[in-house]
Amino acid sequence: MFWILAAGLTAIVAFAILAPIWRGRSDAGAQPAAAYDLRVYRDQLSEVDNDLDRGVIQPDDAQRLRAEIGRKVLDADRRLTQARPAATSAGVLGAGLVVVALAAGAVALYLREGAVGAADLPMGERIAAADQAYRSRPSQDQAVAEAPALPTPDLSDADPEFLGMIDQLRDAVERNPDDLTGLALLATNEMRLGNLSAALTAQQHLVDLRGDQADAVQLMQLATLMINAAGGVITPGSEAVLVRALQQDPEQPQARYLQGVLLIQNGRPDRAFPIWRKLLEESPDDAPWTPTIRNAIEELAWLAGQPDYQPPAAPAATALPGPDADAIAAAGDMTDDERTQMIGNMVNGLQQRLATQGGTPQEWARLIGALSVLGRTDKAADILSEARRHFADNPQAMQVIEDAAQTAGMTE
């Protein structure tokens, strides 16, 4: 059907271009006014001869009329010659070649950039295909079996004291498996260590125990772990958990993000776009899901039939608290004691705040870089290990941390 429509449109355009040229060459039937004048004058000459034969006019008058009509005949013949079509066979052939070249170029461009061989799929059939894909998703167990095994975390840089505390927490939960507080702590810390399988087991048991009392955050965390275990596929099982989370809190941001992912995975960008659009407009720019949405939202809008959509501008970068390169450089004019005290106070203040209040990945990265500049590499390594545990389940944040480690020369 596509090729039939394309060929038809090409023929229509070619006809619109060539028709005036052909008409100019072949419209002999549409003669100019001079041709009609010429026939009239010739008829008038015949009438003069007839009038002379019947004695209506005298020979002198006939001669005068013939001379006057002859002048008109000559003038009409001159005008007729000037009005002849200027189009030639060569001109028509040249125009035809241009049209053929343009059509061939269009076909070549489509063969290069288009989806050659793609079946015609009306919107109704597209929606039906998306619905079929949605209904035929693998179960959670099937998706986990087909997904790559979850990676084993590298704990070589982990604080031995922290690992010992986690072992004690595991033992405590094993002795009292229905302790809600212990399960919540265990799931959170297993995620920080990168033990996603163990975190999933603990979070699942926690949600099962809480039943209808499980809150939106707990349900969202369970759904996230299930999706990770399934290789990124949102199965009917993890979707059911997401639905529960959104029923508890329709504004839960990460659950809304995953809801958009679900719709994209199943061919419904038209439904995913308004969800992600609103989430992007409401979320801070340092939210974990914001970079992903910002990178994909324009293409998603195009697929959803809104090609003119413009995402909100990213906010201007703001200065992060804590020591920066300018502050450290300014310390060059101080005495050694003054410089050490100033930088130490700034670093210690940032370190204390991150330890008690937490912070963004950029702040953790700045602390790692500052400690490295100051030569406190052992402490910088400790902060790096802590940051890796803290952001283990956040790939975007981990990239910021690893970039800082590389800049500080702390690559393994």
Q: Are 367 and 328 in contact (CB under 8 A)?
A: no
Residues 252 and 155 in one domain: yes
Residues 257 and 149 in one domain: yes
Mean pLDDT of the chain: 78
Residues 176 and 217 in one domain: yes
Is residue 312 domain-resident?
no
- Residue 86 pLDDT > 60: no
Residues 105 and 144 in one domain: no
Residues 151 and 243 in one domain: yes
What are the residue ranges of helices labelled H in 358-394? 361-373, 377-390
Which one is predicted more confidently, 58 or 181?
Answer: 181
Residues 146 and 254 in one domain: yes
> Which own/partner pairs from 28-33 qualify as long-range (CB within 8 Å, at least 24 positions apart)?
28/85, 32/79, 32/80, 32/83, 33/79
* Tokens at 243, concatenated: 């639905």
Is residue 317 domain-resident?
no
| Domain edge (last residue) among 52, 79, 113 | 113
Which one is predicted more confidently, 326 or 124?
Answer: 124
Residue 203: the pLDDT is 93
Residues 106 and 139 in one domain: no
Is residue 125 domain-resident?
no
| Domain edge (last residue) among 113, 144, 170 | 113
Is residue 130 domain-resident?
no
Q: How far apart are CA 264 and CA 267, in angstroms?
A: 5
Q: Are 368 and 408 in contact (CB under 8 A)?
A: yes
Is residue 320 domain-resident?
no
pLDDT tens by residue, 232-267? 899 999 999 999 999 999 999 989 999 999 998 888
Q: How far apart are CA 312 and CA 10, in angstroms?
A: 40
pLDDT tens by residue, 367-381? 777 777 666 777 778
Is residue 412 domain-resident?
no
Following CA atoms 199, 200, 206, 212 in sequence, which dihedral angle do they give, to the nearest 10 degrees?
140
| Domain edge (last residue) among 113, 145, 169 | 113
- CATH number of the domain at 196, please: 1.25.40.10
Residues 66 and 156 in one domain: no
pLDDT tens by residue, 41-83? 777 778 877 877 777 778 887 788 777 877 877 777 777 676 6
Best mean pLDDT range from 34-43, 137-146, 279-288, 298-307: 137-146
Label residue 85 by pLDDT band (50, 70, 90): low
Residue 210: the pLDDT is 92
Residue 334: the pLDDT is 55
Is residue 7 domain-resident?
yes
Place of tokens 């597209």: 126
Q: How far apart are CA 1 and CA 7, in angstroms?
A: 10
Average pLDDT over residues 164-178: 90
Residue-number span of the structural domain to which 383 is assigned: 325-407
Nearest alpha carbon to residue 360 among 257, 254, 288, 256 = 288
Q: Are 197 and 229 in contact (CB under 8 A)?
A: yes
Residue 142: the pLDDT is 92
Following CA atoms 319, 324, 326, 330 in sequence, which dihedral angle do they give, to the nearest 10 degrees?
130
Query: Strand, helix or coil at 164?
Result: helix
DSSP 283: S
Following CA atoms 205, 206, 210, 215 in sequence, which dihedral angle do they give, to the nearest 10 degrees?
-130
Following CA atoms 391, 394, 396, 401 in sequence, which dihedral angle do they give, to the nearest 10 degrees?
10
Following CA atoms 104, 108, 111, 114 in sequence, which dihedral angle do they give, to the nearest 10 degrees?
-90
Number of residues that make up the chain: 412
Is residue 50 domain-resident?
yes
Average pLDDT over residues 184-191: 87
* Cα distances (angstroms) measured from residue 346 to each of 196, 357, 403: 35, 16, 22
Neighbours of 65 (CB within 10 A): 18
Residues 216 and 249 in one domain: yes
Nearest alpha carbon to residue 327 among 286, 364, 369 = 369
Residues 83 and 168 in one domain: no
Residues 166 and 225 in one domain: yes
Task: Show the CA angle centred on residue 124, arms to residues 121 and 126, nearest 5°.
Answer: 50
How far from chain centre, in Å, is Cα 215? 33
How far from chain centre, in Å, is Cα 410? 35
DSSP 77-145: HHHHHHTS----HHHHHHHHHHHHHHHHHHHHHHHHHS-TTPPP--HHHHHHHHHHHHHTPPPHHHHHH
Q: Count the domains in the chain.
A: 3
- Residue 175 pLDDT > 80: yes
- Residue 209 pLDDT > 90: yes
Q: Which of 10-19, 115-124, 253-262 has the lowest mean pLDDT?
A: 115-124
Residues 355 and 387 in one domain: yes
- Residue 363 pLDDT > 90: no
